[in-house]
């Protein structure tokens, strides 16, 4: 199928893009890498009157430090992260996760901001960035605001974006070298979207853990009180409470026991990696 006809603008500055977005009163769509929007247009799942292409905006491809955080421009591609074109403040997590997204052709064009803006529950950045405690920076013609990734994702393909707003950057806290991270996902074939995904962050210095279970039909499950380990972060694999994980999945609406079993097994793999 082919996309319905639409007007196309390629603004040369962020302020011009925000102006176009404001003037369109909800009839425009942002396009970054086009890796998710392209298929949606072709299937006519979305039929915007105007596409605003932000891929060429240098302002959205910058990487800056702000205190202890790294501010990663929304239009940095998965390949930019995979190839290490930004400072490694995550002990290699960003490179590794980026390299596991789809195929190189998708990674060359798909962007970190587009991935969050699209908010597919199975997207690697949705789960990973929530686990890393990252934030999202949003801008509109009216101003700018920051949200935690976990506040930004409202559900499958649903975000906190207001009309006229776009994602300009990701705010990533720099991780101390003592931090441990585990990540696992189950895909039917290499390069395909995952049907189960989990990320585990352990911060021994702060005696703190954060676990995210992704690739479910709603917002990712975030557990940051160590309850899945009985309240402590020692002996992670032995203490892992599979029944509690199963219960959380059930509460989140994963009704099929086989699907829950896969999610719990994937989480166990991520925990084993963080514990190693």
Ligand X SMILES: Cc1cc2nc3c(=O)[nH]c(=O)nc-3n(C[C@H](O)[C@H](O)[C@H](O)COP(=O)(O)OP(=O)(O)OC[C@H]3O[C@@H](n4cnc5c(N)ncnc54)[C@H](O)[C@@H]3O)c2cc1C
The dihedral through the CA atoms of 76, 79, 80, 82 has a sign that is positive
DSSP state of 5: P
Q: Least distance from C-beta 117 to ligand X, angstroms?
A: 3
Pick 100 or 229: Cβ nearer ligand X:
100
Q: For the chain, how long is the longest CA-to-CA vector?
A: 58
DSSP state of 45: S
Q: Least distance from C-beta 270 to ligand X, angstroms?
A: 16
How many amino acids of this chain bind ligand X (CB under 6 A)? 29
Q: Which stretch binds ligand X (CB under 6 A): 63-71, 84-92, 114-122, 257-265?
A: 114-122
Task: Determine contact, residues 153/159, Cβ cutoff 8 Å.
Answer: yes
Q: Pick out residues in 74-93 that bind ligand X (CB under 6 A).
A: 74
Distances (CA, A) of 9 to 36, 165, 188, 210: 18, 17, 38, 41
| Binding string, residues 147-166; x marks residues near ligand X by CB under 6 A | --------------x----x
| Binding string, residues 8-37; x marks residues near ligand X by CB under 6 A | ---------------------xxxxxxxxx
How far apart are alpha carbons 173 and 232 in whole angstroms?
A: 23
Q: In 3-state terms, what secondary structure has residue 160?
A: coil
Asked whether position 102 contacts ligand X by CB under 6 A, the answer is yes
Q: Which stretch binds ligand X (CB under 6 A): 11-19, 102-110, 196-204, 266-274?
A: 102-110
Q: In degrees, to the nearest 5, what angle opens at C-alpha 201 toward C-alphas 226 and 265?
A: 80
Residues that bind ligand X (CB under 6 A): 29-37, 74, 101-102, 106, 109-111, 113-115, 117-118, 120, 123-125, 161, 166-167, 193
């Amino acid at each position: 199928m082919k996309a319905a006809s639409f007007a196309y603008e390629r603004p040369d500055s962020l302020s011009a893009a925000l102006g176009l977005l404001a003037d369109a009163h909800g009839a425009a769509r942002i396009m970054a890498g086009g890796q998710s929007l392209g298929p949606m247009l072709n299937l006519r799942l979305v039929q915007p009157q105007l596409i605003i292409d932000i891929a060429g905006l240098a302002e959205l491809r910058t990487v800056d430090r702000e205190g202890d955080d790294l501010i990663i421009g929304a239009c940095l591609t998965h390949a930019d992260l995979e190839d290490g074109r930004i400072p490694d403040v995550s002990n290699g997590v960003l490179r590794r996760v980026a390299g596991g997204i789809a195929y190189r052709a998708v990674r060359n064009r798909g962007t970190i901001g587009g991935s969050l803006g699209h908010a597919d529950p199975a997207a690697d950045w949705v789960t990973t960035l929530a686990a890393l405690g990252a934030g999202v920076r949003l801008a509109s013609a009216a101003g700018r605001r920051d949200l935690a990734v976990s506040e930004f994702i409202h559900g499958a393909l649903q975000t906190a974006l207001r009309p006229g707003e776009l994602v300009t950057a990701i705010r990533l806290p720099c991780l101390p070298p003592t931090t441990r991270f585990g990540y696992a996902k189950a895909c039917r074939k290499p390069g395909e979207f995952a049907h189960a995904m989990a990320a585990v962050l352990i911060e021994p210095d702060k005696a703190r853990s954060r676990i995210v279970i992704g690739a479910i039909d709603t917002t990712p499950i975030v557990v940051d009180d160590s309850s899945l380990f009985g309240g402590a972060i020692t002996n992670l694999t032995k203490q892992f409470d599979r029944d509690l994980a199963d219960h959380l999945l059930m509460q989140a609406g994963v009704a099929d026991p086989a699907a829950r079993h896969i999610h719990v097994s994937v989480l166990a793999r991520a925990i084993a990696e963080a514990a190693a």
